[in-house]
Amino acid sequence: MHRYRCPAAQMNREAHAKFVEAISGFRKRYTVNGFNPADALQLVQYVDEWLANHIGRIDVQLKPCVEISRPWRQSFSRIGEVIILFANSRRRH
């Protein structure tokens, strides 16, 4: 996104770095302690919430920065719109 000079690019980069850090924490606990059902549930909940929040708050800011010039990108954009609608509907519940 940096190459598109998108104002939300830095926020996106930081959010992804925090996500990777959190997932690394789960991985370390798994490596040390083995499988723990509570950790597994917490991981699934974290990823679910992160995706819904990230797509609905940050990724939507990136869309205007990217010029869609190829048909496959248009399809990808439509998929992204469906994901955003899903994320927004999850926040309402």
Quote the pLDDT of residue 65. 79
Token pair belonging to 74: 């248009």
**Per-residue pLDDT at 80 exceeds 90:** no
> How many domains is the chain partitioned into structurally?
1
Q: What percent of the chain has pLDDT over 90?
A: 41
Rounded to 5°, the CA angle 14-16-17 comes to: 65
Check: pTM over 0.95? Answer yes or no.
no
Q: Mean of the per-residue pLDDT values for the chain?
A: 79
Q: Residue 18: which domain range?
A: 2-92
Find the farthest-apart pair of alpha carbons in the chain and give their distance in angstroms, rounded.
48
Nearest to 39 by CA among 31, 50, 17: 31
